[in-house]
Amino acid sequence: MKLNHYAYLASRLKSELRSALRSALRFALHARVHTLPRAFIARWQGKELRRSVAFAHEHLPIYRDLWQAHGVRPGDIRSSGDIRKLPITSKRLFKEHPSEKLLDDLSAHSGEYVWKETSGSTGEPFRFPARASARRLTRERAFDEYRFLLWRGNPLHWVVDHAKIARIDEERVPGELSITRAELRKDPEAACEALRRYGADVVWGTPTSLLELAEYAARMPEARRPRPHFLVSTGETLTPASRAYIAKLLGGEVYDSYGLKEIGIIGVECRVHEGLHVYEESVLVEIVDEEGRALPPGTAGRVIVTRFDENQILPFIRYDTGDRGMIVASPCPCGLPAHRLSVRGRRGGMLTFGSKRIHRVEFEFAMDQFHASIMRYQLAKVGPLRAELRIVPAGGFSSAVSDEVRARFREQFGITPRVTVVRALPATSAGKTLTVIDETDRKTA
């Protein structure tokens, strides 16, 4: 009996060692994909795409029905280039289907997933199932969220075991210092003191939240300000003026990141800070025109993403982010071959003044030329033919800049907004600032 018992234990140990070795080898390759030649990245993405499509077709009626209606079968997807055979999906598509259509046979495993909801900054919040997780900082999550630190030379084990992470967010994360936006606004001095005492290496937040933190810190003596080494902006457009202001007052290097709550992180900056390196081992990004045709690097269009993740309950395949952007055509000076994404802001949303319409993208593009002197902005419709442009100024702002902005609007849009300088712009419960808002019927554009 003892011999049989020992043989069983030896067999179990051998099996666990083999499994651990396979997992370690897969992670080692996974972590290197974005550093390898483009041909290898394309092959990896093709393999992951085939696996994701097969899983979605087998388990999720929403994808089976959609692909059948478009005459596409899993066997038609052989390479990453075949992704264009699949129809584009959207938040609206998922909202139109009941939960059983999103889960099918996975609904029996209710303890394995939770329902989450997007912030609704697009005007279209929706609930989606995600795998239940304690969100502890594993090597996989550390690589996913903090690879910009790895690119700087920090070893992965340091990030997992020693890095002190803080967030200004409503979702508390075990092992990290979490400060909600309500706590920051209610007692900013206590929040700044908590961050200083904690000695955060990295602080995450939306640009709105990080700006508020910087403004509160500016009112305190320098010795009592939090001094994180790095600040990571997420969830909104980070303007150059905002980046400079945050870095000056908090003393850390600011990294911009891009992601969606339902997708996860899609890309992050390297030390060059000229575009977001796409997480190409986990995400395939396409840029397409309004008809869904592929656009070449250097041309702006709709940002479509596919997430490869074995742990996803609901895969997002050819998902329209609602954002506008482009793949940067030139290689990055840092040497990484992973594509760089430049996000130009959200599509959709517009204000109507008589027969004239201002789309959100047009407005944001018009404001781009003033980024050195304007930190944040919001265009509000305050009457049938009246608009107010609220501006949080940067150091270079003056009455001449205000006049130039009004002239630009008059020339491009046929309206002349009242320009109002403000200390801050109102934020949503998700810590974001709406760039266009219709106050005539209290509905946001």
Write the pLDDT tens digit of every residue in 39-50. Answer: 999 999 999 999
What's the pLDDT band for 287 if we cut at 50, 70, 90? very high
pLDDT tens for residues 309-331? 766 778 999 999 989 999 999 99
Tell me which of 97 and 195 has the higher pLDDT: 195
What's the pLDDT band for 445 if we cut at 50, 70, 90? very low
Please report where in the chains the tokens 């998922």 appear, as a residue.
94
Most confident of 190-194, 242-246, 424-428: 190-194
pLDDT tens for residues 392-423? 888 788 999 999 999 998 988 888 999 999 98
pLDDT tens for residues 249-273? 999 999 999 999 889 999 999 999 9
- Contact at 8 Å (CB) between 317 and 283? no
Q: Any idea how long the chain is? A: 445
The stretch 83-93 carries a mean pLDDT of 94
pTM equals 0.83
pLDDT given for residue 444 in this prediction: 42
The class that CATH gives domain 350-438 is alpha beta
The percent of residues in the chain predicted with pLDDT above 70, rounded, is 89
pLDDT given for residue 339 in this prediction: 96
The stretch 345-349 carries a mean pLDDT of 68
pLDDT at 5 over 70: no
3-state secondary structure 302-370: EEEEEECCCCCCCCCCCEEEEEEEEECCCCCCCCCCCCEEEEEEECCCEEEECCEEEEHHHHHHHHHHH
pLDDT given for residue 177 in this prediction: 94
In whole angstroms, give the CA distance from residue 179 to residue 196. Answer: 13
pLDDT given for residue 135 in this prediction: 64
pLDDT tens for residues 360-390? 777 877 888 887 788 888 888 989 889 999 9
pLDDT given for residue 139 in this prediction: 86
Query: How many CB atoms lie under 10 A from the CB of residue 62?
Result: 20
**Cα 207-426-434 angle, rounded to 5 deg:** 65
What's the pLDDT band for 109 if we cut at 50, 70, 90? low
414 DSSP assignment: S
pLDDT given for residue 1 in this prediction: 54
Tell me which of 1 and 86 has the higher pLDDT: 86
pLDDT at 335 over 90: yes
Q: Domain coordinates of the chain in residue numbers?
A: 1-35, 350-438
Which two three-digit tokens encode residue 107? 């609904």
What's the pLDDT band for 443 if we cut at 50, 70, 90? very low
